[in-house]
Structure 1
Amino acid sequence: MRMKNLVRQVIHEWNPYGLLPHAPDNEFDSEIEKVTESLQQVNTLEELARSIQEIFSLSFGESFKYERCLSVANQIWNKANEQS
């Protein structure tokens, strides 16, 4: 559960499309769940970034740039490693 909260915090700070705070707090719950699962399966920061890119591109029907996702992945990766 801690990992999901960590991912939620970073995704909410990232706030793709600027939907928050006007959207419901659960706006990105589906994507957060998928990123959390992905975090447990990937072996590198780059793999996590690609996973985030794919998750958000599919969810929003718009291509997210790898560099944008790499920054978010880096934050999640670093915070996750601090907790382990």
Structure 2
Amino acid sequence: MRNKATDIVTKHINNWDPIYLLAGGAPDDEYEDEIEQIVEAVLKSKDEIEIAEAIRSIFEFSFTMDFDFDKCYIIAKSIWEELYLDEK
């Protein structure tokens, strides 16, 4: 489950590229530390709202800037659905 979660979170976070590091030429593993923390949260969360809160908190701490909850929720919902709902 962890490997699947890591793949899904990596895909969604890198596609989102919340502060455009990848678009600016940063390496593909630029968000690796944040992704590891988000995976931990995903595996412990009971719903996409908890994941969104974790994403927001993790990125705000890492990059000392505000992140919009609604944008975090969109990513969290995509992660939640792909990880938990697509397997049903």
Rounded Cα–Cα distance in structure 2 between residues aligned with 1:44 and 1:79: 13
| Offset, 1:83 | 3.8
1:31 equivalenced with 2:34 (yes/no): yes
Show the counterpart of 1:14.
16
Structure 1 runs of 4+ with >4 Å offset: none
Show the counterpart of 1:57.
60
Extract unaligned runs of 5+ from structure 2. Answer: none
Distance 1:80 1:35, change over 3 A: same
Q: Percent identity between the aligned chains?
A: 31
Aligned residues: 84
1:68 equivalenced with 2:87 (yes/no): no
- How does the TM-score come out when normalised to structure 1? 0.93
CA contact (8 A) 2:34 2:59 kept: yes
Rounded Cα–Cα distance in structure 1 between residues aligned with 2:22 and 2:35: 14
- How does the TM-score come out when normalised to structure 2? 0.89
Rounded Cα–Cα distance in structure 2 between residues aligned with 1:29 and 1:45: 21
Query: CA RMSD for the aligned pairs?
Result: 1.2
Rounded Cα–Cα distance in structure 2 between residues aligned with 1:44 and 1:77: 7
